Amino acid sequence: MVKKAALLIATVGALGACVTVTPPPPALYIENPTASFTASLPLDERIAVEDAWNFLKQGRPDKAQKVILRLGEKSPFYYAGLGYVSFLQDDPTSAEGYFQKAVQDQPNLAVAHLGLGQLYRKAGRDEPAYNAFLEVLKRDPENAFARREADNIRALLTDAYLSQAKSAAASGADDQAKPAYLRVLDFSPKLEEAHLALARIFAKEKNTQSALFHLRTATANDPKSKAVLDAYAQTLAQANQLGRALDAYERLLALDPQNKAVRDRVEALKTKLGVIELPSQYNGIAGLEAVAKEDVAALIAVKFREVIDDNPPKPPVIVDITTSWASRFIVKVAGLEIMEVYSNHTFQPKKLMTRGELAEALVRLIGVLKKKGVKVVAQIPPERIRIADVPPEHLYYGPIIQSVSYQIIDLGPDRTFRPEQTMTGREIARILDLLLGIIR
């Protein structure tokens, strides 16, 4: 009986010696190199890279290493391959060095960034892991593994920094809460809670500009958020930006028409600003194919109501605007000499406005803004501007050159200005909005 058992053991041992045991695949995600890298390699090198990566996927780093070493340092996959070998051999220090060398030599090699990301993730270094996976997504936006890992890390880090920020804020340590909330936005830039919290902190610090930045960003991210709009409107009103506060409150009222408190604020701001309902003609300007002087006067007076004087120092004498729907706007812009009143005291409100005339009005408007302390800087030195169809002797040469230097009116592809051409209401509104954006 003992002899039979010994014989059986010997037989099994002999059979076992003939069997090759395949190691289990590694718990490491190893992606095939992209065709954009392998396509340029010679055939034998492509085959070697494929063999090496197959060994890596099988969890056989020793065999992969032999193939990779034969490839040599000139191969774009040399250091990335050795990084995976070291990773599988549980040598994180060497793996990191190889992966970093790989991304340094081959910045677009996604498999190297993938390896580095996984190495950092395993070591609990979530932020560098996140950055590594983002590098993969820059080069391969459809990479599902990198997307999933980046999203998971983003959620973890958002929660961690948010918890840290809220804890600091609850204890009154705004100096610690602020950087934590800013880190939250590094990972979740649209998180309303963080923008609102930062706005409150900056408002307490009397840093109105930064508070408004976060509220404006949050409003852009979610235009229908009542909480954000309310905070935005209140902060604008506190900053004495009453026109913009009114706009924000009106948007809030549109979302919540039964809110009496908001309706009262809208009416109070309208009274303070002297705002009345705009004539129906104003809303139709954007659809006009050619715009008259009265239309432009209305656009300037309404869009720039926060920064131009409400009561012109010298009310002009104008004899032909009694029947114009925009008479009160004309009086305002003409009194500030933004738009010209002719020597016979006429304004000619129905006269279609040309591009040359608009350039003159814009330059005069910029002059008024500068007198009020608004900084408007030319983007192109005027002396460097040459316009094909506006010679120096042209009536509007100066204003045209200046308006182009501010980059608020574009030249055509043939470098012409077309000074006698009319403009649509949409074009003029866009130009005025561009100027508004420059001065804000």
- What tens digit of pLDDT does each residue of 31-86 get? 888 877 788 888 989 999 999 999 999 999 999 999 999 999 999 999 999 999 99
Amino acid letter at 316? Answer: P
Note whether residue 151 is domain-resident: no
Token code pair at residue 407: 């980059």
CB neighbour class for 181 (10 Å; exposed up to 12, middle 13-18, buried from 19): buried
Write out pLDDT tens, residues 132-174: 999 999 999 999 999 999 999 999 999 999 999 999 999 999 9
CA distance 62 to 60: 6
Q: Are 46 and 86 contained in the same domain?
A: yes
CA distance 360 to 152: 56
Prediction pTM value: 0.57
* Range 315-339 average pLDDT: 90
Decide if 177 contacts 165 (C-beta within 8 A).
yes
- Residue 389 is part of which domain span? 284-439
Q: Are 263 and 371 contained in the same domain?
A: no
26: confidence class by pLDDT, cuts 50, 70, 90: low
Instruction: Pick the closest to residue 362 from 338, 333, 337, 328 (CA basis).
Output: 338
329 alpha carbon, distance to own chain's centre: 36
Give pLDDT, residue 60: 95
Note whether residue 46 is domain-resident: yes
Decide if 318 contacts 342 (C-beta within 8 A).
no
Rg (CA), the chain: 34
87: domain CATH number?
Answer: 1.25.40.10
440: confidence class by pLDDT, cuts 50, 70, 90: low
Buried b (16+ CB within 10 A) or exposed e, 376-385: eeeeeeeeeb
Sign of the C-alpha dihedral computed for residues 248, 251, 255 and 261 taken in this order: positive
Q: Are 211 and 101 contained in the same domain?
A: no
Angle between helices 144-170 and 110-122 (to 10 degrees): 40
Contacts of 152 (CB under 8 A, 6+ apart): none
411 membership: H or E segment, kind and range: none
Residue whose pair of structure tokens reads 């408004």 in the numeric block: 212
Q: Are 311 and 435 contained in the same domain?
A: yes
Pick from 254, 273, 292: which residue ends a domain?
273
CB neighbour class for 252 (10 Å; exposed up to 12, middle 13-18, buried from 19): buried
Q: Report the number of secondary-structure helices (H) and strands (E) in the chain.
A: 21, 0
Pick from 112, 141, 170: which residue ends a domain?
141
Q: Are 337 and 267 contained in the same domain?
A: no
CA distance 341 to 318: 7
Q: Are 374 and 326 contained in the same domain?
A: yes
Give pLDDT, residue 439: 76
Q: Are 311 and 423 contained in the same domain?
A: yes
Q: Are 306 and 418 contained in the same domain?
A: yes
